[in-house]
């Protein structure tokens, strides 16, 4: 009876259809999925936009992180009062262009994956590339590097599915248990790396000098023998 009256009245019918469209769009937006590919889709720009639009939290598990623009966006988010946490692999901290130490200096919580902990003794590296922005999940093959953005073929999917969000939040907390909440001493490592490089360079130099001396001795002997042969001719 109610629906009959609605359909008989044109204004009611328009309102009825309008609210149905609004409800449908809201349901769709709750489970909206976005997909991007590099190098054609400017994924780093999409990522920075996600960071800037976040309101409460940003949790990221990233294997390699060298893009300074993304790092600055995270630092800005931290300065704006957001809860920013990053899990990364030890190899990222040892990389010359890694930006994780900049994040740590800005007060962002850094969790360094350690493969020698009992909980994860069979796992070699932390190779994830995902993030949680408020209530959405960002995941795919995309490392947070310039090369991944402009040179590599990579993919990212961003979704607001509640089930996926709960799973990723749970995984992130469990992953932190396999980490040390500390920053790798990069300056100390660079000093050690420099010493190792100097030692290797010295070894290479010694090997090169020994090789050249041996070659010179061979040619000197050949030259002496050649001169003797010429002398014997006369």
Answer yes or no: pTM beyond 0.75: no
- Per residue of the chain (234 residues), what is the pLDDT tens digit? 544 554 555 555 566 555 556 555 554 455 589 999 999 999 999 999 999 999 999 999 999 999 999 999 999 999 999 999 999 998 888 888 889 999 999 999 999 998 765 555 666 889 999 999 999 999 999 999 999 999 999 999 999 999 999 999 999 999 998 888 755 445 455 555 556 556 666 666 667 777 777 778 777 777 777 676 666 666
Question: Distance from CA of residue 229 to its chain's centroid?
Answer: 69
Contact yes or no for 146/67 (Cβ under 8 A): yes
Phi, then psi, of 82 in degrees rounded to 5: -80, 155
Contact yes or no for 128/63 (Cβ under 8 A): yes
What does the alpha-carbon distance between residue 169 and residue 128 come to, in Å, rounded to a whole number?
Answer: 14
């Amino acid at each position: 009876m109610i629906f009959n009256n609605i359909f008989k009245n044109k204004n009611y019918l328009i309102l009825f259809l309008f609210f149905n469209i609004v409800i449908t769009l809201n349901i769709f937006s709750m489970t909206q999925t976005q997909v991007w590919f590099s190098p054609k889709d400017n994924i780093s720009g999409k990522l920075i936009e996600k960071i800037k639009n976040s309101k409460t939290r940003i949790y990221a598990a990233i294997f390699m992180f060298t893009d300074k623009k993304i790092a600055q966006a995270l630092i800005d988010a931290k300065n704006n009062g957001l809860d920013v946490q990053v899990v990364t692999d030890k190899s990222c901290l040892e990389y010359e262009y890694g930006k994780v130490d900049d994040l740590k200096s800005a007060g962002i919580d850094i969790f360094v994956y350690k493969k020698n902990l009992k909980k994860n003794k069979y796992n070699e590296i932390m190779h994830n590339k995902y993030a949680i922005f408020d209530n959405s999940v960002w995941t795919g093959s995309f490392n947070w590097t310039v090369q991944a953005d402009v040179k590599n073929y990579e993919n990212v999917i961003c979704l607001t599915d509640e089930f996926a969000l709960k799973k990723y939040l749970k995984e992130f907390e469990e992953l932190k248990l396999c980490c040390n909440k500390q920053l790798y001493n990069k300056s100390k490592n660079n000093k050690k790396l420099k010493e190792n490089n100097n030692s290797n360079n010295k070894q290479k130099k010694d090997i090169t000098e020994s090789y050249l001396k041996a070659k010179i001795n061979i040619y000197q002997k050949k030259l002496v023998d050649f001169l003797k042969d010429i002398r014997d001719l006369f």
